[in-house]
Amino acid sequence: MEAQNISVGLDIGTTKIVAMIGRKNEYDKLEILGIGKSKSLGVHRGVVNNITQTIQSIQQAVLESEADSGLKIGDVTVGIAGQHIRSLQHSDYITRENSELVINEEDIDRLINQVHKLVMLPGEEIIHVLPQDYKVDGQAEIKEPIGMYGERLEANFHVVVGQVSSIRNIGRCVQTAGLDLDGITLEPLASANAVLSQEEKEAGVALIDIGGGTTDLAVFKDGIIRHTAVIPFGGNVITEDIKEGCSIIEKQAELLKIKFGSAWPGENKENEIVSIPGLRGRDPKEITLKNLSKIIHARVVEIIEQVYVEIKNYGHEEQKKKLIAGIVLTGGGSQLKHLKQLVEYITGMDTRVGYPNEHLAGDSDSDITSPMYATAVGLVMDSLLRQEKRSVETSEEEDTEEETIQIPVESPRDNRSFLDKLTERVKDFLDKAE
């Protein structure tokens, strides 16, 4: 098997680290060759807070996936999320020197590069610059300005910002674990690629990825990403609440949540009781499921309300920006019983649970299609895209050497180039640091 057709996604989460190896099969679907996961120690709310433990967890996940697939991992695509991620809207313009020529890729790159010069808060770095719509000489609502005539080109951008140190720490962990950093991707974007269909992105949809430490949001409309947010709460705070509320240890709280937890208190009758063994010879504790679901309900409502505020910030209540496809829930936290009903109740929007089987080969293992692996699957897809793009570029270069007539390849304009630049910067920084 050729190693270059393989892609690896590394999802460094708060509760687990997943290394996933995949490749495209002959039907252009994603085939997962191996998967390894380890308990994530050293990550808190999506941010690395203990380098040594994170490196060990990464190595463990990688070893497991290598054993599973029989392949050796070199390059990985890593996802970043965490409470330091924020996003803002920004407009910018350029005046073109020669309005006799049509607008081309270079003009757009120049405009996007200009946005990258924005002054951020100390220690922040622009991660993604996502063009929303363009204006040419005052003509508004242009989706694709390439090929048009005009002197002044302006655009509205969705800019995603994060802390440099957090990104570098992740780069450091990956490198020290013996891997090469191939690319960095925003996790909500990766999850969205894995679970959303093109129709949903066109109609308007909000993807809510409920992880252990954070809840990520990505809003799409007309096929373009319009809003992103990271909320620093996830499944772990629910477990924490159960632990405090029932005076039990974390392991028991987590099990209770998964086995008996529900986000809707009305479901449980007063007399349903779970008995939990006491510590070291103490009497067992009796907990009513009604109380358990009340504790869970309170916290889940808080998380969903915060997400809903972000959906409103995007402008969902305006007629033109309405999200017709509603909400898609994914991530480990989306498996909580009756969560779909609660989300529909709070937001009044259609809701479904998203499984990352949109692009997976038909015979994939049912474990892999669990919402828990949405981000990992998305990262593998992202890595494959990056590879395809590189192979197109290299074959183009070879073609030009032979002086054949160039047919430009229409690559979808996305901002991978900037993330690649960011990856380069992180790599350079790490090389100098050593």
Which residue in this structure is represented by tokens 């900037």?
418
pLDDT at 75 exceeding the cut of 60? yes
Structure tokens at 104: 């081309």
Helices (H), 88-163: 105-115
pLDDT of residue 416: 53
Q: What distance in Å separates the CA atoms of residue 166 and residue 5, rounded to the nearest whole number?
A: 30
pLDDT of residue 427: 76
Angle 250-253-259 from CA coordinates, rounded to 5°: 140
pLDDT of residue 426: 76
The H or E element containing residue 6 is none
Indicate the SS3 state at residue 184.
strand
Task: State the CB neighbour count (10 A cutoff) for residue 408.
Answer: 8
pTM of the model: 0.86
* Banded pLDDT at 408 (limits 50, 70, 90): very low
Q: What distance in Å separates the CA atoms of residue 46 and residue 232, rounded to the nearest whole number?
A: 8
Please check whether residue 158 is in contact with residue 178, taking contact to mean a CB–CB distance below 8 angstroms.
no
Structure tokens at 122: 């100390």
Please check whether residue 21 is in contact with residue 6, taking contact to mean a CB–CB distance below 8 angstroms.
yes
pLDDT of residue 411: 40
The region that residue 423 occupies, defined by phi over 0 for left and psi between -120 and 50 for alpha, beta otherwise, is alpha
Specify the higher pLDDT residue, 425 or 225. Answer: 225
Which residue in this structure is represented by tokens 């969205």?
192
pLDDT tens digits along 119-140: 888 989 888 888 999 999 989 8
pLDDT at 29 exceeding the cut of 50? yes
359: phi then psi, degrees, rounded to nearest 5: -115, 5
Within 13 Å, how many C-alpha atoms sit on residue 127's CB side? 28
The H or E element containing residue 397 is helix 374-401
* Banded pLDDT at 417 (limits 50, 70, 90): low
pLDDT of residue 419: 67
Q: What distance in Å separates the CA atoms of residue 184 and residue 289, rounded to the nearest whole number?
A: 42
pLDDT of residue 324: 95
Q: What distance in Å separates the CA atoms of residue 293 and residue 300, rounded to the nearest whole number?
A: 10
Please give the average per-residue pLDDT across 241-265, as a whole number. Answer: 92
Q: What distance in Å separates the CA atoms of residue 428 and residue 311, rounded to the nearest whole number?
A: 37
pLDDT of residue 407: 36
Structure tokens at 73: 């991992």
pLDDT tens digits along 279-291: 888 888 899 999 9
Indicate the SS3 state at residue 13.
coil
Please check whether residue 116 is in contact with residue 126, taking contact to mean a CB–CB distance below 8 angstroms.
yes
pLDDT at 277 exceeding the cut of 60? yes
* Banded pLDDT at 302 (limits 50, 70, 90): very high
Q: What distance in Å separates the CA atoms of residue 406 and residue 106, rounded to the nearest whole number?
A: 17
Indicate the SS3 state at residue 365.
coil
Q: What distance in Å separates the CA atoms of residue 12 and residue 55, rounded to the nearest whole number?
A: 10
pLDDT at 414 exceeding the cut of 70? no
Please give the average per-residue pLDDT across 270-274, as a whole number. Answer: 85
Give the range among 7-11, 236-240, 328-332, 354-358 with minimum mean pLDDT: 354-358
pLDDT of residue 56: 95
* Banded pLDDT at 265 (limits 50, 70, 90): confident
Distance between first and last Cα of the chain? 34
* Banded pLDDT at 410 (limits 50, 70, 90): very low
Within 13 Å, how many C-alpha atoms sit on residue 322's CB side? 7
Cα→Cα distances 394→387, 388, 424, Å: 11, 10, 19
**What is the sign, positive or negative, of the torsion defined by CA atoms of 334, 339, 340, 345?**
negative
Give the range among 151-155, 298-302, 333-337, 406-410 with minimum mean pLDDT: 406-410
Residue type, 283: D
Q: Which of 365, 345, 347 is nearest to 355 (CA)?
A: 365
Give the range among 230-234, 399-403, 427-431 with minimum mean pLDDT: 399-403
pLDDT tens digits along 158-184: 999 999 999 999 999 999 999 999 888
Average pLDDT, the chain: 88
Q: How many residues does the chain have?
A: 434
Helices (H), 116-249: 164-176, 187-195, 198-203, 235-246
pLDDT tens digits along 421-430: 777 777 777 7
* Banded pLDDT at 2 (limits 50, 70, 90): very low
Residue 360 DSSP class: B
* Banded pLDDT at 403 (limits 50, 70, 90): very low
pLDDT at 409 exceeding the cut of 70? no
